[in-house]
Each structure stands twice: as structure tokens, then as C-alpha cells.
Amino acid sequence: MEIELKQIDRSAPPCASAGPIENIWPDDGVSRIPFQIYDSPEIYQRERERIFLGPNWSYVALECEIPNAGDFKRSFVGDLPIVVVRDTDGSVNAFANSCAHRGVAFCQEDSGNAKSFTCPYHHWSYDLKGNVTGLPFKRGFKGKGGMPKDFDVSEHRARPLVVTVRNGAIFASFDSSVESFEDYMGPNMLQYFDRVFDGRPLELLGYMRQRIDGNWKFMFENLKDPYHASLLHVFFVTFGLFRMDAKSAIEMDETGRHCAMVNRRAGELEAEAAKEMKQTLRDDMKLKDTRVLDLIREFPGDVTAVMSTVWPNLILQQQSNTLAMRHIVPHGPGQHDLHWTFFGYADDTPEMRAHRIRQANLMGPAGFVSVDDSEVMVMSQEGTSPYHDRVGIAEMAGKTVEDHDHTITEVAVRGLYKHYRKVMEL
């Protein structure tokens, strides 16, 4: 007897839209979140147009990834493929990874060094600015074929993006009307950004990548949701890296789109907090190598972790001494990639460099902490996709949007959807 083994598909089939997407949001402002936004193809298409093609600064690379002329990195703005490259004059360019001829993604290497780029399909070539520099058989062959005489290659370059660089971090936008990066961030969020990107040269330490079967907004919500951190993450609670009884805060820019989750390591566990976190706290959990918990003071003040979300695609991670950019890359309504870029400073001692790499084990696809989030996002997609008539609740600590001096709150999730609704006109 033969037995056929099949993989069980746990994903739920998408539901048909209940009506025009303009009418999906309930009247409860931002304390209710319609499940349809996580699964609707119409919503996803509008997100691409309004958010990722709109006047926003999207994170695309670090300067230390492309230090030399001709160095390039394949990157994304939303799900739109782009190339980020260092020009011969030291400036940074970005343009669509889409051939002006027939749309082929001509750059297929994650990174490298090049003097030009050539599309494999019809061999149209581009310089480091994205200009077309070569077009085979432009004038035909022996008087036959070729492009029309009035065809101007200068009008058919790879679509350019505007680029801004701040202290080693590179952002790009398809919309040239985007405001300055400083105005975009606002003074409070900029100070948290500059806390890590303080002007010191950066050193690339390595990458991690994962694909998660969940809507991209689940990832962005996750780092605006401290409410879950002391309940989902056994490692955080057990070893005191993040607990609800620790001194902490949630701070946002005036639009609600950017957020900083500010935390200090917990001290002696308070009895009331222990009661609330009893299912998460594991007294029997021990580490054979406790160096992963070591905190080397390197930033001003007593803050030990700042997780900043920079709309629309970046999580800037500073957890103890591990530093990383988490780049969110959507893949349709029900899937996204998370690209982790770990870095340190060029003047780090060998001991600090080794410590940062060791502590990176807290994060990433199999990290002591982050592995929990990935699994929950799959469960979230599974539970929301079939129920377009349902809404999520975001009322922890009220229904309004303002900074909080604690983390028992969902205020930053409400801030996110305050801005999201405005941009999406929902």
C-alpha cells in the first residue's frame, strides 16, 4: 500500500471584499482595525501607490555596504525593486531595477561592483546614474530594422529615485516632492535616530533574511506594540531585558507614523507584575553562556534599548549592544520578507565587535526573542484572512494618540493607523 504525504496548507483562502474599500473602516477612529486591510488585493495596490510610490523616505541601504565607486546593492521600496549604487564622484544614486525597454529586473545580484549594468534580455546597458548607454542594433543592420530616428534614449532611462543620506543611512523616494529627511522625522524622532547614527563610520557585520507568511503591516505593528513584549517573549521576561515593571516610554512624531519604544532594563521583579506575567516567566530557564546578556554602556543616559519604527519600511534596532536595520519588503497582501542588516562602528574594538555578533543571537529568524514574533504573524494572517467583517481591538491605555510614559499600551498602533487612514483615505 502506498501512502501519499502532502503538506498541509494552514493559510486561509482570501475572502471576497465586502464592499468598496473606502467604507471598510468602522467609526471608532483608530481603536478598531478592519481585518480586510491585511488581505485585500485592492488595499495592497493602493498601499503601493500611496505609500511606496508616494512622498515618503524609505530605507534602502547603509553607506558601509557600498563604500567604493561602482559598489551596488539590490534593494526594495515596498515591493518595487531598485538598485542603490555609489557613483564615481562618491554620491549615491538609486533607480528602478526595471529595464526601460521591456521591464526586466536587470540586476540579479544582491551586491557587487560594476562600471555599468546590462539587461540580459536585449542587452540594453545603463551607467551608474541609470542612463541608457548602449542599445544593440539601434540603427539596425545593413539598412534594415533599428529604432526610429526620433527615438531619444535620454528620455528612456531607468526610473530615478531621489536619495538622502544621513550619517551613514541611505533613504530613497520615488516622489521628488518629498520633504527633507529632517522635517520628515521631526525633532524628537531624529534625536533617537542620531543616537545610533551619530556620525561615526559604520562597519557591516552581516545579514539575516526571512520570509514570513503574514501581511507587512503586522511587522510594523509589532514594534509599535509593547503590550505583547512581556507576554509573548519568554526570554525577555525571564532575563529582564524587557518587562512591564521597567521604566519605559512610547514616543511618536506629530503624525503618529514614526515611533520610538524606549526601555530600561528591569530591576527586582515586582509581585503585581509577576502575577500578570506568570505564564511567561520561566524560573527554570538558564543560560550556559550569559555573555549574550552583557550590557556595555555606550550611549548617553540609562536607556538600554530603543526600537524605532521609521515609516514606512524600517525598524531601527538598538537592543543592548546589538544594532540592526530591519527592512520590511512586502510580497503581496499575505507575505513579506524581513531583511536584517547588522552593523557596528568602524572604531569598535575586536572585543566589542565579537560581542555585537554574539548578541545578534537575540534577534533574527531563529533569535532567542524574535523567533516568537515570526510565528505569531503567521497565526495572525491565518486568523484574520477569512474574516473580512471583523475588526481588531487597539484600546489598551485608551483610544487617543499621544506619548505614554509606560508600555502597557497600544497607543503607537493607533498612531500608525491614524496616519495610515489619512494617507490611504480610508
Between 12-16, 138-142, 168-172, 379-383, the lowest mean confidence (pLDDT) is in 12-16
Between 34-38, 42-46, 87-91, 363-367, the lowest mean confidence (pLDDT) is in 363-367
Identify the pLDDT of residue 137.
95
Q: Give the separation between CA 113 and CA 111, rounded to whole angstroms.
A: 7
Average pLDDT in the 340-360 region? 98
Between 49-53, 146-150, 188-192, 312-316, the lowest mean confidence (pLDDT) is in 146-150
Identify the pLDDT of residue 269.
54
Give the closest residue to 159 by CA, choosing from 213, 105, 196: 105
Confidence of residue 122 (pLDDT cuts 50, 70, 90): very high
Identify the pLDDT of residue 16.
42
Query: Which residues, other chains included, contact 17 with Cβ-Cβ below 8 Å and sequence gap of 6+?
Result: 36, 40, 42, 388
Q: Give the separation between CA 235 and CA 273, rounded to whole angstroms.
A: 16
Average pLDDT in the 106-124 region? 98
- Higher pLDDT among residues 4 and 413, named by residue: 413
Confidence of residue 13 (pLDDT cuts 50, 70, 90): very low
| Domain range annotation of the chain | 58-164, 203-424
Class of domain 58-164: mainly beta
The grid cell for 399 is 483610544
Tell me what the pLDDT averaged over the chain comes to.
91
Alpha-carbon torsion angle 174, 47, 194, 187, nearest 10: 100
Terminal alpha carbon distance of the chain: 56
pTM: 0.91
How is domain 203-424 classified at the architecture level of CATH?
A: Alpha-Beta Complex (3.90)
Give the closest residue to 128 by CA, choosing from 156, 173, 89, 154: 89
Identify the pLDDT of residue 330.
99
Identify the pLDDT of residue 379.
96
- Higher pLDDT among residues 145 and 23, named by residue: 145
Residue 112 has pLDDT above 90, yes or no: yes
Q: Give the separation between CA 85 and CA 95, rounded to whole angstroms.
A: 9
Average pLDDT in the 98-111 region? 98
